[in-house]
Amino acid sequence: MTKQNVFRGVTAVQRSLVDYWCRLGESDGVPRRESVDPGHLRSVLASISIVEFDESGAGRFRIAGSRLRDLLGFEARGRLIEEVAGTAAETYALGLSAAIDRAMPVGGVIETGNRLHAWLRLPLTGADGRINQVLCHDEELASRHLLLTPPGGAAIHQKSNLYAA
């Protein structure tokens, strides 16, 4: 994987997280979970979650920050992905599977009413070298002005109000 072709994020915080993820990457480009320093994420911990997958492919929130609770309306830690309902579940399911399948960062924006939800999914490998966790960053944006210009100058898709890469 060439790191120059990696999705870089739709906000400044996401760009910083993707740059950190790229610096941690092993020879195949996907960092090991053990490489992630929680101290480096301190300023954004409230917006961080980690989803872990078991051998059957079921994903469970291992860690869930308080801002995710605010976005979902309930505590997600310990819950299966399938237990998250609505648009948030669709975002998580699509983002998680894309991050795992591509072994690369993926992210985007969901617009619902007056809310802008910027999301990022970063795959992580376990000790066995298999991608079995995804580091997630979710934030509600107060304004469109906080969005960086999407790749190629594309805008948020106006029909579906989704932007993803």
47-84 pLDDT, tens per residue?
A: 999 999 998 988 999 999 988 888 778 888 999 888 87
Given a cut of 70, whether residue 162 has pLDDT beyond it is no
Amino acid 86: pLDDT: 64
Token pair, residue 12, equals: 């400044």
| Span 81-116, pLDDT tens digits | 888 766 566 666 778 989 999 999 998 888 777 778
What stretches of the chain adopt beta strand conformation (E)? 48-53, 59-64, 106-112, 115-125, 131-141, 162-164
Amino acid 157: pLDDT: 41
Span 30-55, average pLDDT: 92
pTM of the model: 0.83
CATH 3.40.50.620 correct for 3-142: no
Amino acid 109: pLDDT: 84
CA distance 82 to 144: 30
Given a cut of 60, whether residue 3 has pLDDT beyond it is no
Fill in the amino acid letter for 85. Answer: A
Span 117-134, average pLDDT: 92
In the chain, where are the structural domains located? 3-142
The average confidence (pLDDT) of the chain is 81
**By C-alpha distance, which of 1, 14, 7, 4 is closest to 141?**
14
Most distant pair of Cα atoms in the chain: their distance: 43
Given a cut of 80, whether residue 19 has pLDDT beyond it is yes
